[in-house]
Structure 1
Amino acid sequence: MKTTLATVALLVLALGWTSEAVQVEENGLSFSLEAVKRLQELTESSDDKGQHSPRLNASAVSLCAHPMLPQELLPLCRQRGASASLVRLAVVPIDVCEICAFAACTGC
């Protein structure tokens, strides 16, 4: 009886955690806000190194090959128009997304 109650409690907690997670939708796919933040950090770090900004030249190849790119973004890399999608994700206003005032952000 105690194990059943503990299992149910864990499932309710897990459901609560996942239902509160903010998701960013792009091109029919949904990504966690953390993955989008990491993508933005990667684009900013390439700016700091003097490389061309993926925001400006839409170089999806270099971003998709980057070892620090979150795994959940890889399906986007395989789609047509990946460059444009990555550019749009790279400019998502994270502060606005965190309060769910941005149309692409859901799950608040």
Structure 2
Amino acid sequence: QDGDLKFPLESVKKLKEVMDGNRHVNPRMMVPMASYSPCQEKHLPEEFRPVCKREDAPMIFRRLSLAAEDDLCEICANAACAGCF
């Protein structure tokens, strides 16, 4: 979720894969991550297409990508995570 926008976790993870895959470009041609928008990526999940029409799309995608970072509790690697299941 980002503000009033809600997306399935699996779609957000796919978005992160798309965005991370774009990092393997010539470093001199790189766009700063804060201004990068995956809207031109052909593998962008459809539910994110409406976000592309917004002025704040790059920041929304950045926040969603950060939200999809691997969480130790999500994968239950941490014994202290009681609420995993």
TM-score range, shorter chain: 0.5 to 0.7
CA distance in 2: counterparts of 1:97 and 1:81, whole angstroms: 30
Number of aligned residues: 73
Query: 1:39 aligned to 2:35?
Result: no
* Structure 1: stretches of 5+ with no match in the other structure: 1-24, 100-107
% identical equivalent positions? 30
> SS at 1:26's partner residue?
coil
* Structure 2: stretches of 5+ with no match in the other structure: 76-84
Deviates more, 1:42-51 or 1:71-80: 42-51
Distance 1:81 1:95, change over 3 A: same
The equivalent residue for 1:85 is: 60
CA distance in 2: counterparts of 1:30 and 1:97, whole angstroms: 21
> SS at 1:87's partner residue?
helix
Q: Give the superposed CA RMSD.
A: 2.4
- TM-score (normalizing by structure 1): 0.55
Distance 1:90 1:75, change over 3 A: same
1:24-73 deviation digits (Å, cap 9, x = unpaired)? x113111011111111111111112335266x24222xx11211000011
Query: 1:69 aligned to 2:44?
Result: yes
Bigger radius of gyration among the two? 1
Query: 1:58 aligned to 2:16?
Result: no
Q: Which has the higher helix share?
A: 1
- TM-score (normalizing by structure 2): 0.68
CA distance in 2: counterparts of 1:52 and 1:37, whole angstroms: 22
CA distance in 1: counterparts of 2:47 and 2:70, whole angstroms: 18
Task: Give 1:77 shift.
Answer: 1.5
Q: Which has the higher strand share?
A: 1
